[in-house]
Amino acid sequence: MSLVTRCPACATAFRVQPAQLAAHAGSVRCGKCSTVFNGVAALVTDVPEPLALEPSPQLGLFDPGRRLPEQPLQADELPPFLAAPPEPPPRRVAWALAAFLAALLLVAQAGYRYRTEIAVLVPEARASLEAACRPLGCSVPLPRRAELMSIDSSDLQADPRRDGVIVLNALLRNRARYTQQFPALELTLTDEADRPVLRRVLRPADYVERSRATQGIPAGAEAQLRVYLDASRARATGYRLYLFYPA
């Protein structure tokens, strides 16, 4: 569908397309006298039959940055075909919410992964971390730094009351400045040539009470242990003992 607009300066009428008017807010330049005018306001609604319509190669040269002061284009003067399409709803709130949730999930994952380290650095946070772990079925384990745990002394003797039973005595020390888990102990019995004849791994439950094991060894504290072992099948003359934390 084409429309007809008339130049207010030279009264020349031209055919225009609605898309042309809509693309440049209605401003057009007359191809005959070069006057810039509001093509929407100058639309001819009743065109007499003998009206001559001039073709103009310059009619497509719109001036989008200019509004005619004498004929300002008002919103209520726009024809339906010039109405701007509705803009899509803003998405900034949705993106901000998604970013916030992603950051919150990342913080939660980091808190779960490093919950032990957080409890060490901020002891006051242990209770909160344990409360958060309870619904998830997890716990906040004590630190396990084997290089800060040592065996200060140990000895292995035969039990005089029972044949084939040996008694292991050892003194563990936590040299860290925070409470640590009780470590596992590996005891290896050796023969005269220092060859292993029996190896036994002792878990904390094997040498300390359960209630004490869950509390760990306090910072700078020591723990004395005594373990009775059946060595009736091994002819041992020596032993090796070291501590470790299972993977």
In a domain, 115, yes or no: yes
Domain identity same for 25 and 50: yes
The structure's pTM equals 0.52
Residues 73 and 100 in one domain: no
What local confidence, expressed as pLDDT, does residue 58 receive?
47
Within a domain: residue 17? yes
Last residue of a domain, which of 101, 136, 171? 136
The answer to whether the beta carbons of residues 181 and 144 sit under 8 Å apart is: yes
Which are the contacts of 144, defined by CB distance < 8 A and separation ≥ 6?
Answer: 180, 181, 183, 245
pLDDT along the chain (247 residues), means of 10: 82 81 79 84 67 50 46 53 59 83 82 77 80 83 93 94 93 95 96 92 93 91 94 88 94
Same-domain pairing of 104 and 69: no
Q: Encoding tokens for residue 238?
A: 């020596």
| In a shared domain, residues 186 and 235 | yes
Question: What is the CA angle 70-7-15, rounded to 5?
Answer: 130
For the domain that residue 209 is a member of, what is the CATH number?
2.70.50.60
The verdict on 17 and 60 lying in the same domain is yes
Co-location of 176 and 192 in the same domain = yes
Q: Identify whether residues 54 and 72 lie together within a single domain.
A: yes
Residue in the block written with tokens 């079925």: 137
- The answer to whether position 106 is within a domain reads yes
Q: What is the pLDDT of residue 68?
A: 43
* 9 Cβ contact partners less than 8 Å away, ≥ 6 residues apart: 30, 33, 35, 37
Same domain, 105 and 186: no
Element holding 110 (H helix, E strand): helix 92-113
Query: How many domains would you assign to the chain?
Result: 3
Residues 180 and 235 grouped into a single domain: yes
Q: How far from 106 is each of 101, 109, 118, 132, 163, CA to CA, in Å? A: 9, 5, 15, 16, 59
Buried b (16+ CB within 10 A) or exposed e, 15-36: ebeeebbbebbbbbbbbeeeeb
**Sign of torsion over alpha carbons 22, 24, 27, 33:** negative
**In terms of residue numbers, what domain contains 222?**
146-244
pLDDT at 88: 58
pLDDT for position 66: 46
| 222 and 193 in a common domain | yes
Residue 141 lies in a domain: no
**Lookup result for tokens 């004929």:** 71
